[in-house]
Amino acid sequence: MTTTAPRHVVADRPTDEAAQTRRRRGALIRAVPRWLVTLLAAAIVLPPVAWVLSTSLKRDADTVSFPPRWIPNPFSWAQYEGIYTITNVRFLINSTVLAVGSIVLALVICVPAAYAATRFRSGRTEALMTVVLVLTMVPGIVVFIALYAMLVRTSLINTYPLLIVVYTALISGQAILFLRNFFENIPVEIEEAAAIDGCNRRQILLRVVLPLVRPGIAAIAVFIFVFVWNDFLVSTVLATSEDMKTVQNGIVRYITTGFGNFWGLFAAFVIVSFAPVLAVFVAFQRWFIAGMTSGESRDERDLSSATGRARRRRRSVRVGRVQAARGVPGGRGSCHGDRGRGPASGRPRTSTRSPGSPRRRARAG
């Protein structure tokens, strides 16, 4: 059967090449709307960003001139020097402490919780997960306001631990649900193998499971960082004293002073505070996107695995048949295999036998 020569594949080769160039040109044309959308997005997304960047390099007097100038003339670093104040440094430190603290606390709580919720399935854990889900529905503003009212007269307000706990609580519901999707992807057999080799639960979690869910952990850590760093409301409400405010409060402060709006300083501080987010994002982009997109909700996977698999199987058989019947090369490996095997077995130039039935050829690959 392997010696069956699909003769007309050889015959099709020139047209195949023509088809390839045609396809390449088609791909170029098809890419046009894609780039149009990208350009449109750039036109909508970039102007405010460019504007902030340009303003941060202007002199004070130029920031509110009309008509506005897009290219600062003359360039000036005065705004960046202007925001280098002890309060702003304090804001940056506060935000960093809160972000790092929240990431650590959230991971310490959520990773074991998500693991337990995945591996020890029972009615109780399911109920608990439902409670977690419902509690993530509590509007944030409800929580802050009640916390503020409760704590305003205690010494807990304006402390790092309180703010970290609040941030962690706000994010942990999502984090647990998110991480659970990753744990579900790990086959139990791996853990069983580790257990047979003499690992205890803790070792299994630390040495076997954690390395496997690293992308998920990286993704959620980046997510938490962006969430805490960019948060405005929690620190507005729960950090009442000056030295506990965060970067976002510092930014907004420049235009709500009552002494006028310092657009130049505002813009410079926006740029400075955006730099860490951008740096973290660029550094972890691969993991972040992979984690965000592979940890889809369970329903999606159920759908794709249950109905999708059956459908896919049916379709692929049909695809193979269609391609074979049309003599389309390179489809689902039916002809690649033949070609790769070389003239010795696969493709004698002259063949005495007629090509096998389409069905058989589709299988041959």
Partner 1 sequence: MVALLVFVIPLGYTVWTATHHTSYYEIGSYSGLDSFSKLFSDGDLGHEVVTTLVFAVGALVVALPVGLVSAVVVNNARRLKRSVRSLFLLPWLMSQATVGTIWFWFLNPNYGPATQLTKALGFGPTNVFSTPTAALVAVTLITAWWSYPQAMLLFLGALQTVPVELKESMRVDGGNAWQTFRNVTLPYIRNAIVSVVVVLLMLYVQMVTIILVTTRGGPLNSTETLAMRTYNEMFVDFNMSGAAATALLLFAINIVLTLVAVRFRRKESL
Q: Which of residues 180-239 bind partner 1 (CB under 8 A)?
A: 226, 229-233, 237
The CB-of-34 to partner 1 minimum distance in angstroms stands at 5
Q: Is 319 in the site for partner 1 (CB under 8 A)?
A: yes
Residue with tokens 């249950």: 306
Q: Is 287 in the site for partner 1 (CB under 8 A)?
A: no
Q: Is 84 in the site for partner 1 (CB under 8 A)?
A: no
Q: Is 336 in the site for partner 1 (CB under 8 A)?
A: no
Q: Is 332 in the site for partner 1 (CB under 8 A)?
A: yes
Q: How far apart are CA 302 and CA 300, in angstroms?
A: 5
Helices (H), the chain: 7-56, 78-82, 86-119, 123-135, 140-151, 160-185, 188-196, 201-203, 210-212, 214-230, 233-238, 247-253, 263-294, 298-326, 336-340, 342-345, 358-364
Among the listed residues 97, 100, 143, 199, the single contact to partner 1 using CB under 8 A: 143
Among the listed residues 82, 308, 355, 356, the single contact to partner 1 using CB under 8 A: 308
Among the listed residues 11, 93, 127, 135, the single contact to partner 1 using CB under 8 A: 135
Q: Identity (one letter) of the amino acid at 36?
A: L
Is residue 204 within 8 A of residue 191, CB to CB? The reply is yes
Q: Which is nearer to partner 1, 207 or 333 (CB)?
A: 333
Residues touching partner 1, count (CB under 8 A): 96
Q: Which is nearer to partner 1, 61 or 344 (CB)?
A: 61
The CB-of-47 to partner 1 minimum distance in angstroms stands at 7
Q: How far apart are CA 206 and CA 186, in angstroms?
A: 14
Q: How far apart are CA 102 and CA 164, in angstroms?
A: 5
Q: Which is nearer to partner 1, 208 or 289 (CB)?
A: 289
Bond into 67 cis (ω within 30):
yes
Bond into 74 cis (ω within 30):
yes
The CB-of-342 to partner 1 minimum distance in angstroms stands at 26
CB count within 10 Å of CB 130 equals 10
Q: Which range binds partner 1 by CB under 8 A, 1-9, 208-216, 275-283, 346-354? A: 275-283
Q: Is 46 in the site for partner 1 (CB under 8 A)?
A: yes
Q: Is 73 in the site for partner 1 (CB under 8 A)?
A: no
Q: How far apart are CA 172 and CA 189, in angstroms?
A: 28
Q: Is 323 in the site for partner 1 (CB under 8 A)?
A: yes
Q: How far apart are CA 3 and CA 360, in angstroms?
A: 12
Among the listed residues 138, 190, 210, 275, the single contact to partner 1 using CB under 8 A: 138
Q: Identity (one letter) of the amino acid at 322?
A: V
Among the listed residues 126, 207, 296, 360, the single contact to partner 1 using CB under 8 A: 296
The CB-of-365 to partner 1 minimum distance in angstroms stands at 15
